[in-house]
Homo-oligomer: A and B are copies of this chain.
């Protein structure tokens, strides 16, 4: 890298920087998938073949690195929430959101851990986008309940229950897409108003803050 910086012009330096950044993001996804998002920054740098200083120049904090690594997935989650709210069929919107987010958890191994793990609360834009996402999720749930499709005793925290359980499943069985689809299908059928079969135990006190799209919507 130092070599190619020396022989290229300033455009080449910028291209190098972009390349390094991309290498870091690919490496970060791989390392997070294998070792969780608590993996040492140095392990990511090593995997990317860049120095630790270069890594920190691109991503000054672990939080920034995690967000960078999963920016595309976060965007997909954010879009799924927007689409779900725009769906004229409240139940279909709700169902698709659950399926999309679980699909992402299944396909990108580092992703679940990255967002089930609580995000640092420091950045104000985080807090704002999370609040908006929580509000949108509440709207989605209430709309599906008002339509008589989602059971009345469904609690927004149940979304977190689904995601944490599903995250555990895909982490334990990363190659078993059938198990993941099966779990999601059972849960969605259970959430239908007409499946309600006696009282449920009280809802969990889980906040939606661990919810994927709550952390990273632009």
Contacts and interface: CB of A to CB of B under 8 A. Distances in A.
A168 B164 contact: yes
Contacts of A181: 201
Nearest first, the 9 A-B pairs at minimum CB distance are: A168-B168, A190-B190, A179-B204, A181-B201, A195-B195, A178-B204, A165-B165, A165-B169, A186-B190
B161 A169 contact: yes
B183 A165 contact: yes
Given A161-B182, A164-B179, A179-B206, 12 more contacts: A164-B172, A164-B173, A168-B168, A178-B202, A178-B203, A185-B200, A187-B190, A189-B190, A189-B196, A192-B197, A194-B197, A195-B195
- Taking the full assembly, how many copies of this chain does it contain? 2
A86 B198 CA distance: 25
B158 A182 contact: yes
Sort chain A's interface into a size bin.
35 or more
Given A165-B165, A168-B169, A186-B187, A197 B200 contact: no
A107 interface: no
B168 A172 contact: yes
A50 interface: no
Nearest to A167: B168
A198 B205 contact: no
A125 interface: no
Interface of A: 116, 157-158, 160-161, 164-169, 171-173, 176, 178-179, 181-183, 185-187, 189-192, 194-198, 200-206
A183 B181 CA distance: 16
Nearest to A171: B168
B182 A204 contact: yes
A74 B148 CA distance: 43
Contacts of A164: 168-169, 172-173, 179
Nearest to A117: B172
30 contacts: A157-B179, A158-B186, A161-B182, A161-B183, A164-B173, A165-B168, A165-B183, A167-B168, A168-B171, A173-B204, A176-B206, A178-B203, A178-B204, A178-B205, A179-B204, A179-B206, A181-B201, A182-B200, A182-B201, A182-B202, A182-B203, A185-B200, A185-B201, A186-B187, A186-B190, A189-B196, A189-B198, A194-B197, A195-B195, A195-B197
